[in-house]
Amino acid sequence: MSATTAHLREVTDETFAEEVLRSDIPVLVDFTADWCPPCRMVAPVLAQIAEERADTLKVVSLDVDRNPETQAAYSVLSMPTLVLFRGGEPDRSVVGAQPKRRLVEQLGLDEVH
């Protein structure tokens, strides 16, 4: 595992509450799917964000095909959908692959402490 991907964790329907909802720090969830080309495009950007902000932000991915309960619970219909959770609640979201600068801006990641 490279240093870049080491900061990304995969969550499941079973681990979502523990890893995301009960996290002490904000969590960026990447709702993704293996068949989704834009998801593959955004993955290296998310890995970079995860590495740069490892102390203040957790970045995880959730495969929607293998974890339909969590996908349905948050009404995720398009991939990739990125949702920033703060204190166990969805705070901001972005749908579709975006350049890093735009993701950081739209999700308010510069405000994450």
Q: Which of 28, 29, 36, 104 is catalytic?
A: 36
User: What is the pTM assigned to this prediction?
Assistant: 0.92
Q: Which of 27, 29, 39, 109 is catalytic?
A: 39
Helix, strand, coil shares, percent, the chain, to 5: 35, 25, 35
DSSP line for 75-106: T--SSSEEEEEETTEEEEEEES---HHHHHHH
CB 85 within 8 A of CB 26: yes
CA dist., res. 51 & res. 58, Å (int) = 9
The residues with which 48 forms a beta bridge, in sequence order, are none
Task: Assess whether 7 carries a catalytic annotation.
Answer: no
Q: What are phi and psi of 106, to 5 degrees?
A: -65, -30
Fill in the amino acid letter for 2: S
Q: What are phi and psi of 6, to 5 degrees?
A: -65, -25
Task: Assess whether 77 carries a catalytic annotation.
Answer: no
**What confidence score (pLDDT) does residue 58 get?**
96
pLDDT by residue for the chain (113 residues), tens only, comes to: 344 455 689 999 999 999 999 999 999 999 999 999 999 999 999 999 999 999 999 999 999 999 999 999 999 999 999 999 999 999 999 999 999 999 999 999 987 65
Q: Is 13 helix (H, G, I), strand (E, B) or coil?
A: coil
